[in-house]
Structure formats: structure tokens, C-alpha cells
Amino acid sequence: MPLPLSETELDALRGLGEQVDLAEVADVYLPLSRLINLQVATRQRLHETTTTFLGEQSRRSKTPFVIGIAGSVAVGKSTTARILRTLLARWPDHPRVDLVTTDGFLHPRAELVRRGIMHRKGFPESYDRRALLRFVTEVKSGAPEVSAPVYSHVAYDIVPGEENVVRSPDILIVEGLNVLQPGPSLAVSDLFDFSIYVDAHTEHIEQWYVERFLALRHTAFADPGSHFHHFAGLSDEDARAEARHLWRTINEPNLVDNILPTRPRATLVLRKDIDHSINRVRLRKL
Ligand SMILES: Nc1ncnc2c1ncn2[C@@H]1O[C@H](COP(=O)(O)OP(=O)(O)O)[C@@H](O)[C@H]1O
Ligand SMILES: CC(C)(COP(=O)(O)O)[C@@H](O)C(=O)NCCC(=O)O
């Protein structure tokens, strides 16, 4: 299969600290996008079978195929999501692919403060899970226009008035830490047609988190409006200590207690080595 992605395009999709190259895109992401592309067509036929069985008028609106992408903070979910989105949209049938990240469904900062859970950002209870479920349900039921709120890492809060509008895509990618969590009743994971868990050793992810934190001092934290601006001037040693503290008190417990237990639920697990390269792909066939 020819690779429909150039080096320059890949550069624009690669997140801070990620190392994915065109060889990995060709080896892993391109075949994965083909498998999903085939499953989208099959799933559509399955829906049509049910519509016919029920004697309903064949609706012109399609049912979007929903993909969930889960994994720890700093594991590289957003890079995976962006590459997949681009590749899926380039198959000859040109499906329209939309991407939403679940940080838009975090409770606004004031609400997290009110509930006393500012130190639990990214934990299941820090999200408005009903709003997320409602959003994906509406997209999946063919609504012409559904909007999601938008989160800003710089403001460390939901951006008032900003929205991510999804207009009846063929494929919707939902990316976020906890998207594979089951719920007491219906959960967003029940609406996934395919799901991916981006995996790596916890110690390696900690190292990536710390390195990214050091790098962010010169990019995002340098912005005077950034919630983390006070970290911009830290020495390497102090920044490392701060990042380790954030990792050990927030992101590692969330990974161990909430995110890792959802890994067996994924259709596909991409496991990364210490250099971020994907060293194993496990696909659930059942
Ligand atoms: N404090 C921050 N300021 C600005 N950007 C950030 C900050 N933390 C994370 N990011 C960016 O947000 C995106 C999502 O990060 P994260 O939730 O850790 O998931 P992942 O690394 O798995 O994609 C990444 O592109 C990352 O570089
Ligand atoms: C915004 C996040 C909760 C991730 O959100 P997601 O889109 O994965 O739901 C996370 O990147 C985050 O900011 N965690 C807080 C702790 C920290 O700053 O490391």
C-alpha cells in the first residue's frame, strides 16, 4: 500500500517528545487504518441489516463508526489519534473523520474546586461523564451537528464560549485517559466500534512525562497566561522534582487505579518501548 503521508505532514502531527517516523506509520498505522476502514464498511452493512429486519425505511443518514483511544497521561495518545485520523481520511472512499478529546468534558475549574477535587484532574470523577455519553450518543444517532466543550492546557480550564462542532462524520475518534472505563449503566465505551489502548511501562511513561515537563518550560509554560507560567523559570533540577511530584501524586495513581485496569477491554493494544517506538501490537479477534 502506498503511504499517503509525507515527512512534513507527519512532523505536524507529532506531539512534543514523540518520535514516530514514516517507517512506523507504514508498519503499524497504515495497516491499522486499513483494518478499521474495512470494519467501517462492514459495520455499516450490519446496521442496514438491522434496519431492514425492523422494516424501517432505510435512513439516508449513516451511523458514525466510533473509535476510542485510551492510555496514560504523556503516553502519546494524541499523536496516535491525529495520525489515525489523517490516514483514515485518505482511503479512497474519503470518509470524514472527526476527533474529540475528553478533556473538553472535564468539569470547569470552579466546579472542581467546589467539589474539592482539583488534585484529581483526569480521574473519572473529574469529568462530566453524562455529558460525554450524551455527546457520543447524539453523534452516533446521526444528529447533523453536535458540539463539545473545549479545554485549554494554558488556561487549565474549560474555555467559555468555545466549542468543537462535529457534523455527522463517518468516523468519530474519542481520545482520553479514561474512555475505556465501564459504567454502572451505559458508558461511552459501550458505544465504541473499535478501541485502542496506548501502552508502555509505567516507569518509561514517568520519564516521558518529566522530559515533556522540562520541554514545556520553553514552550507552553513560557506564555505569561499559562497556569504553569511560574514553572517556566525553574532550574532543571527543580522542574524535575516538580514534575515527579505531579506524576507520583496525580498521574501515576490514576494510571494504576483507573486506566491500566481498562487495558483488557481494548480491541487493540499498541505497546511502546522506552524510545517511544511501538514494539508490540496485540489485536483482540474475539
Ligand atoms: N501543561 C501543559 N501545557 C501545554 N500543553 C500540554 C500540557 N500538558 C500536556 N500538554 C499537551 O496536551 C496533549 C495531551 O497530553 P496528554 O493528556 O498527556 O496525552 P498524550 O501525551 O497521551 O497525548 C499533548 O499534546 C501535550 O503535549
Ligand atoms: C487534561 C488531562 C486531564 C488529560 O485529559 P484527556 O483529554 O485525556 O481526558 C491531563 O493532561 C492533565 O492535565 N492532567 C492533570 C495533571 C497534570 O497536569 O499532569
d(CA 50, CA 32): 27
**CATH among 3.40.50.2300, 3.40.50.300, 3.40.50.970, 3.90.550.10 for 7-283:** 3.40.50.300
What number is the ipTM of this complex?
0.93
Q: What is the mean pLDDT of residues 12-18?
A: 96
From 13, 16, 78, give the residue whose CB has the most ligand 1 atoms within 8 Å, as the site to mutate. Answer: 78
Answer for the pair 137, 189: CB distance below 8 angstroms, yes or no: no
pLDDT at 59 over 70: no
Angle between helix axes 77-89 and 30-53 (nearest 10 degrees) is 70
Q: Is 249 helix (H, G, I), strand (E, B) or coil?
A: helix
pLDDT for position 37: 96
Atom 15 of ligand 2 has which residue's CA nearest to it?
Answer: 121
Domain segments of the chain: what residues?
7-283
Note the pLDDT tens digit of each residue in 202-211. 999 999 999 9
Note the pLDDT tens digit of each residue in 212-258. 999 999 999 999 999 999 999 999 999 999 999 999 999 999 999 99
Q: In Å, how far are 7, 16, 24, 36, 220 from 225, measured between CA atoms?
A: 33, 20, 36, 40, 9
Query: Band of the pLDDT at 56, cuts 50, 70, 90?
Result: confident
Answer for the pair 256, 3: CB distance below 8 angstroms, yes or no: no
pLDDT for position 148: 98
Q: Is 171 helix (H, G, I), strand (E, B) or coil?
A: strand
Average pLDDT over the chain, rounded to whole?
Answer: 95
- What's the burial of 50, exposed, middle or buried (CB within 10 Å: 0-12/13-18/19+)? exposed
Residue 179, C-alpha cell as written in the block: 474512555
Note the pLDDT tens digit of each residue in 154-170. 999 999 999 999 999 99
Atom 25 of ligand 1 has which residue's CA nearest to it?
Answer: 15
76 lines ligand 2 (CB under 6 A): no
